[in-house]
Amino acid sequence: MKIERLDVNARRSRLVKYNGVVYLSGQFSDKGGDVASQTREALAKIDELLARVGTNKSRLLASEIWITSMADFKAMDEVWNAWVVPGNPPTRCCCAVELGDPEMRVEVMVSAALGDVEIMDV
């Protein structure tokens, strides 16, 4: 078994792959804007990272969503629900916290299985 890391800087790897699971760092917008557009941008980054290791959002395992106020929940949730693959969402939890920059409205953490995994009918 081995560990693979993508997009390594002094602080973190954006993706770590080990033992059939990929872990992603919290993804968030670089561009600011409202919570819906920030959620879309974070999820697009997740799609891109998963694609680089040959998997995709149908293989998501667990997720955690941080927003900065529950007033943003509905707008975030609509973007999320339109993004997940019907029948194949990960587990999820969501809370409101203070994020790294006052412009940030949402940060999304996910883990996923590799792409050669069979999806069971639900």
Q: Does 19 bind a second copy (CB under 8 A)?
A: yes
Contact of 93 with 65, CB cutoff 8 Å: yes
Q: Does 74 bind a second copy (CB under 8 A)?
A: no
Q: Residue from 35, 79, 88, 115 that binds a second copy (CB under 8 A)?
A: 88
Who contacts 121 (Cβ-Cβ below 8 Å, separation ≥6)?
A: none
Q: Does 36 bind a second copy (CB under 8 A)?
A: no
Element at 65 (helix H, strand E): strand 60-67
**Local structure of residue 111 (DSSP, 8 states):** E
Q: Does 15 bind a second copy (CB under 8 A)?
A: yes
Name the residue nearer to a second copy (CB basis): 51 or 70.
70
